[in-house]
Amino acid sequence: MTERIEEPAPTNPEDLEINFVIDGPVPDAARDRARDMIQGLARKAPRPLLFARVKIKIDEDRPPNEDTIVQATVDVSGELIRAQVAAPTPGEALNTLGERMGRRVRRVAEKRRTARKRPPRTPEGEWRKGDLPSSRPGYIELPRDQRVVIRQKTYAPEKASLEDALFDLDVLDYRFLLFTDELDGEDSVVYESDEGVMLRRLSGGERPDLPESLPIEMNTAPAPEWTVSEARADLDASNETFLFFRDASTGRGAAMYRRYDGHYGVIEPSV
């Protein structure tokens, strides 16, 4: 049974409101360690932390090397930072989570100092290397006839720059991020791949005026036009983590992805 614990509102880092969600046989020491981590972030953040949430779950049905899943989300004065880690023990998971969240807080601080909406250039060959792919939780394998498609409208109608999309992909700890490119209004997706970070546009082709300084490659294939049912059938038959497609009912870009619980999610425009 999930236990929800809320702590007092903040006046300083030690009193920061932290919402804990504890699931499974999680030791009290893990919650104390998570609190110390969040308070450390509050001291390093460029602006006050308004809210923090930590989820710690021990699922003994998962493989032993990832039966502890820890997720943290903090609000740095309106800028959300998120990370999720899977590891054999709460201590190992929290160590990795703390390092990752600290890096993201530093990136937010750098963004604020430079006053430029652009992710700082990662040294060549080091773009998120050794970070997310090795420590994210794996997917629970459900029989196909038990998988449910959960629709959610999560990407806003406001247009965004490519630089902002790359920044959010990193600090929100996503595998992919859908956005509407402010350059020309094209629905697009940035995502992780074995070749690095990729950009794909709904209609395919190269993106005009792609900044050479950005560590990103183009996938020039146009997105297939599918119904949600067709997208599900393709995902069922593949090993992909997500599929970017043109929704046949709206003509807009959408994505179907594998959820960690074994079901599928669909992300589409809010309008």
> Is the Cβ–Cβ distance between 229 and 236 less than 8 Å?
no
Helix (H) or strand (E) holding 9: none
For residue 230, what pLDDT is reported? 94
Mean pLDDT of the chain: 81
Alpha helices (H) along 85-238: 90-114, 132-135, 162-171, 228-236
Helix (H) or strand (E) holding 79: strand 79-87
For residue 95, what pLDDT is reported? 92
For residue 247, what pLDDT is reported? 93
**Residues in the chain where the model's pLDDT stays below 70:** 1-11, 111-139, 153-157, 271
For residue 269, what pLDDT is reported? 80
CA gap 46, 266 in Å, rounded: 34
Strands 187-193 and 18-23: unpaired
**What order do you get walking across the sheet with 196-201 strand by strand?**
176-180, 187-193, 196-201, 217-219
Answer whether 0.75 is exceeded by the pTM: no
pLDDT tens, residue by residue, 225-252: 999 999 999 998 888 889 999 999 999 9
**23 CB-side CA count, 13 A:** 14
For residue 156, what pLDDT is reported? 62
- Return the SS3 of 168: helix
CA angle, 215 then 260 then 67, to 5°: 105
**What order do you get walking across the sheet with 68-76 strand by strand?**
2-6, 18-23, 49-58, 68-76, 79-87
pLDDT tens, residue by residue, 75-84: 888 778 888 8
